[in-house]
Amino acid sequence: AQSSFKARRNSKLIYNLIKHKETFTFITLSKELNVNNKTIERDINELKKEGHEISFAGSRGIGEGNIKKNGFDFSPLEVRGLSFSSPKAMVVSSYLMAKAIKASCSLVKKFDPHVVAGFGGYGAFPVVCAAILKGYPTIIHEQNVIPGKANRLLAKRVERIAISFRESQKYFDIE
């Protein structure tokens, strides 16, 4: 139900949600978020030291090298944003998204996560979508005032929404 959605102003909600679990086994990324972000890098490394299992998945080239350099697993997905610029672009991008959702279903089954976190963008969308389809707990975080397509599409299906700006609440129909 829409009334059960909770919003918080920053990613501390995600950190606190993970911290209180025995293990945390999955996290997804978008282009905007990578392990170069010092606050997130610090929180993720602290969780790793505490014994949580954290893996990343998303589109290729989203900081894959930095993620691996920091000792985390990364599962790349061949995906791109949906394009409606031409019939061919629409068919190709839709096919790649469907293929990425199918691959993500396998990843979710393999990792059997306690929670799947998405940070927006076409790289995170198929993994969060797969988690929803498989019945896993999900959370999305919107880092911008105006949410992107991926988070807008996922918002009504995820269990938690975290936001960075109070002004974002109106886009998610939350208080």
pLDDT band at 19 (very low <50, low <70, confident <90, very high): low
Cα separation, 127 vs 141, in Å, equals 14
CA 133 to chain centre: 15
Does residue 128 surpass a pLDDT of 70? yes
- The model's pTM is 0.78
Return the residue matching tokens 């998945």. Answer: 57
Cα separation, 111 vs 170, in Å, equals 34
Cα separation, 100 vs 97, in Å, equals 5
Q: Which two three-digit tokens encode residue 142?
A: 């919107």
Does residue 130 surpass a pLDDT of 60? yes
Quick one: which H or E segment has residue 131? helix 125-134
Cα separation, 120 vs 52, in Å, equals 23
Percent of the chain at pLDDT exceeding 70: 74
HSE at residue 100, side-chain half, CA atoms within 13 A, is 26
Q: Are 7 and 169 in contact (CB under 8 A)?
A: yes
Q: Are 153 and 122 in contact (CB under 8 A)?
A: no
- Residue-level pLDDT at 118: 87
Sheet with 160-163, strands from edge to edge, namely: 116-118, 138-142, 160-163
Q: Which residues pair with 59 in a beta bridge?
A: 77
Does residue 83 surpass a pLDDT of 50? yes
Does residue 35 surpass a pLDDT of 80? no
